[in-house]
């Protein structure tokens, strides 16, 4: 079955710097890759997603890149702000089960003022 790895598990950056979180997946048939942000004590919420027919997608300070050949995708946050501090989860769709995802273990991002 699908397996998703995520690195690093924790990440600290200075406010204004960039942050990069990387994920790898095992199932070459996966075609949808969402990123969820979970602030402390709150529910996970989708922040950006990418489908397998696109190599890069950007939304303001957030971008996601996908390398299908290498089976890895990354989240890039530029000009980080304190409100970006949260746990970020990547996920990959399970090809045989439509909208089911396998989530990575998460990255705790701390943006230091």
Tell me the site size for other proteins, rule CB under 8 A. Answer: 23
Letters for 59-88 (x = contact with other proteins by CB under 8 A, - = none) are ------------------------------
**CA 3 to the chain's CA centroid:** 14
8 binds other proteins (CB under 8 A): no
46 binds other proteins (CB under 8 A): yes
In the bound complex, what is the minimum distance in angstroms from residue 94's beta carbon to other proteins? 9
103 upstream amide cis, omega within 30 of 0:
no
What is the pairing mode between strands 10-14 and 62-67?
A: unpaired
27 binds other proteins (CB under 8 A): no
Residue closer to other proteins by CB (options 16, 105) is: 105
b (16+ CB within 10 A) / e for 38-57: eeeeeebeebbbbebeeeee
The two structure tokens encoding residue 77: 């946050």
Q: Which among 11-19, 68-76, 77-85, 98-106 is the span making contact with other proteins, rule CB under 8 A?
A: 98-106
């Amino acid at each position: 079955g699908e397996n998703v790895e995520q690195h690093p598990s924790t990440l600290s950056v200075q406010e204004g710097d960039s942050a990069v979180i990387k994920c790898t997946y095992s199932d070459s048939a996966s075609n949808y890759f969402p990123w969820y942000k979970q602030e402390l004590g709150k529910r996970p919420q989708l922040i950006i997603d990418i489908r397998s027919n696109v190599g890069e997608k950007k939304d303001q300070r957030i971008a996601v890149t996908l390398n299908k050949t290498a089976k890895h995708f990354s989240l890039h946050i530029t000009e980080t702000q304190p409100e970006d501090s949260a746990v970020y989860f990547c996920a990959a769709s399970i090809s045989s089960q439509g909208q089911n995802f396998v989530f990575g273990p998460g990255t705790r991002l701390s943006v230091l003022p």
